[in-house]
Structure 1
Amino acid sequence: MPSLRFVVKALSTEGVPPSEFARTMAPHPLMYQELPHDPEYQLYNDRLTPVRFADVTADEMYWKVRREVILRHTGELPIEFVGPDIDREAVGDRILEVGRSFGMIITSAQVFRARRIEAGLLNAGSDFDRTVTPFEAGFGGFVDFDKNDFIGKAALERADCACRTWGLRTEGGIAQLGRAICRDGAPVGRVSSTAWSPFLQCGVAIVRMDGLADGPGTQLDVESYDGIMLRGELCTLPMYDPDRLIPRGRLIDIPDQ
């Protein structure tokens, strides 16, 4: 059988007999904005996310984000529209209408995921959860034991301070989510976020290792989405820009390709 990929397509149910397979999960409220672009959806971390649009390539979307969006947290208050009385479609349409004059386009989740992984921005719920300490997630520098007692302080004082969360580069393919990192055929870590990087020209991932001995520079076998084994190497996060000059606005020499 040739190599195949399977996607979810949004099709009209008008005039079609009811089917138990009509919809697998509720759509995002602004998904209608994607429909004119003939989107393809796939499941990622149990979420239905767009991966392709008919009128823009994955590379074009990635470079739009890579050149024009700075991923950072500056402490500003976000603007969020919530509540049953909010006309979400009107708000979303207005944002797109104004944004077009600035070159705004709709991009798929996968290009933001690739950029997030490159930048070392962890996603709560997948890259870390309540079972992971700040040290294991690489957040040890934010733990201030000089503060007065806080929830979890006593447990953290007893915890190992070593990091178990790293980046992963794979050549020739994308790592499978889950227990896909192996040594001598035995799983030794978990892939929690994964994507393809058009900038680095390799698969990129955020992983959490079982043991403390595996760190940057360690080479391991990684199962891919195609079912083949790839060679991967652990690396530090972020994967480039180690001084974090890009999110601080100090590095603006962003490559064209």
Structure 2
Amino acid sequence: MADAVTADALKRTPFHDIHRELGAKLVPFAGYEMPVQYPTGITAEHKAVRASCGVFDVSHMGEFIVRGVQAIEFVNHVTTNDVAKLEIGQVHYSTILNERGTIEDDCLVYRFADRVMMVVNGSNKDKDLAHVQRYAERFAVTVDDRTDDIALLAVQGPDAEAILQPLTKTDLSAIKYYWFTEGEMAGIPAVVSRTGYTGEDGFELYFDAANARPMWDALMATGRITPCGLGSRDSLRLEMGMALYGNDIDDTTTPLEAGLGWLVKMGKGDFVGRDALERQKAAGIPRRLVGFTSEERVFPRHGYPVFYENAPSGVVCSGTLSPSLGIPIGTCYLPTAAAKEGTAFELEIRGKRVGATVVKPPFYKHASHK
């Protein structure tokens, strides 16, 4: 009975019925019932994205629309990157910090002519909304949570542009990496952005949730796009060394520790968490997130203990056996002095210590993004 209640409490994306029809394995994720894989399997889905094209339902992601004369100033205050430097039609990656300087979430920021859109992780959406709303009172803005109204598909792979172009009058070749346009896809009004979480070229499509099935059907009618679940999304992003909230970053880590210092623009003026980061820089950053591999054929799972010079150094943050490379890959935090390529340390896997070596991500070097 408890399981039934839990399942009933999960939200469903606009594509939920389609996932069921396709025989997807559905699991709880970020408060939603989401497809982790389809009958083809995680490895086949992963390789389809690397070689051709796959589509991910990421409608669980949160979308906040910020409007008002101080929209730019407000988003600049609650995120670390410099929103004022964005041109209309441009996107950037950023972090949302608390006053301690640790990461409430990572996000994308879209600058439109008349508004700003923040795209946040589904698992953090309610927390993020409450967090940014606390600061909104100081600015002439409104923050509108549009998550339930917007469907979001990520079409990823080296063939994405060629496959999608016949479905739209929008010139996809004119959209640069981390830029977007307001156009249409399959005759459906959509924000089309050239971003992604796989390292491959591709597009994210934001559109009215009421159009979920016609959009999906149009994409599938090409016969060239593989439905992909959360499992392959995770292995694809890890091969690129891209952070996952809850694994590699969370509200106990700062962007300086996580290798995301490039998202922190100290020169832009005051922002939430700035003072704490200044203090950490002055005191010295105690640890850093690193990538690693091992010569042993092991599967380094999240949570496995890590040891450097025989002393505990946290746990494996993310880990897998890379489908593209056939080797173990993962991330963990090491003391700053050890966080350089070639450093040897150990993982504990089922009670046995296994050697590992720090390598610089991305692990997969042949991705197609433009």
| TM-score, normalised via structure 1 length | 0.68
2:316 to 181, 186, 191: 191
Q: Counterpart in 1 of 2:231?
A: 110
Q: Counterpart in 2 of 1:178?
A: 303
The reply on whether 1:220 has 2:342 as its aligned counterpart is no
User: Counterparts in 2 of 1:1-257, with a 5 A limit?
Assistant: 19-22=1-4, 24-25=6-7, 26=10, 28-29=12-13, 30-40=15-25, 50-54=35-39, 56-68=40-52, 69=156, 74-76=178-180, 78=191, 79-81=205-207, 86-87=209-210, 91-100=211-220, 101-160=222-281, 162=285, 164-170=288-294, 171-178=296-303, 180-183=305-308, 186-209=311-334, 211-215=335-339, 216-224=341-349, 229-241=353-365, 246-247=368-369, 249=370
Any idea what the Cα deviations from partners look like across 1:158-177, whole Å, max 9, x if unmatched? 21365611222244232221
SS at match of 1:74: coil
- 1:207 aligned partner, one-letter code: C
Any idea what the Cα deviations from partners look like across 1:216-237, whole Å, max 9, x if unmatched? 322333244x676543322212
- 1:221 aligned partner, one-letter code: E
2:24–2:35 CA contact under 8 A, matched in 1: yes
Cα 1:70–1:57, aligned 2, differ >3 Å: closer, same or farther?
closer
Cα 1:103–1:152, aligned 2, differ >3 Å: closer, same or farther?
same
- 2:355 aligned partner, one-letter code: R
Q: Report the number of matched residues.
A: 219
The structural deviation recorded for 1:61 is 0.8
Question: Whole-Å Cα distance in 2 between the matches of residues 52 and 245 of structure 1?
Answer: 22
Q: Counterpart in 1 of 2:83?
A: none
Q: Percent identity?
A: 22
Any idea what the Cα deviations from partners look like across 1:13-51, whole Å, max 9, x if unmatched? xxxxxx333364425333332223433456789986544
RMSD over equivalenced CA pairs, Å: 3.4
| TM-score, normalised via structure 2 length | 0.50
- 1:234 aligned partner, one-letter code: V
Q: Counterpart in 2 of 1:15?
A: none
Cα 1:123–1:232, aligned 2, differ >3 Å: closer, same or farther?
same
Structure in which a larger fraction of residues adopt strand? 2
Structure in which a larger fraction of residues adopt helix? 2
Q: Which runs of 5+ in 1 are unaligned?
A: 1-18, 250-257
- 1:238 aligned partner, one-letter code: P
1:176–1:223 CA contact under 8 A, matched in 2: no
1:96–1:104 CA contact under 8 A, matched in 2: no
Q: Which runs of 5+ in 2 are unaligned?
A: 53-155, 159-175, 182-190, 192-204
2:238–2:318 CA contact under 8 A, matched in 1: yes
Q: Counterpart in 2 of 1:252?
A: none
Question: Whole-Å Cα distance in 2 between the matches of residues 104 and 117 of structure 1?
Answer: 22
Any idea what the Cα deviations from partners look like across 1:42-77, whole Å, max 9, x if unmatched? 6789986544433x1333211111123259960326
Question: Whole-Å Cα distance in 1 between the matches of residues 244 and 19 of structure 2?
Answer: 23
Question: Whole-Å Cα distance in 2 between the matches of residues 28 and 172 of structure 1?
Answer: 37
The structural deviation recorded for 1:113 is 1.0
Any idea what the Cα deviations from partners look like across 1:96-130, whole Å, max 9, x if unmatched? 21112151121121111111111122123432123
2:301–2:320 CA contact under 8 A, matched in 1: no
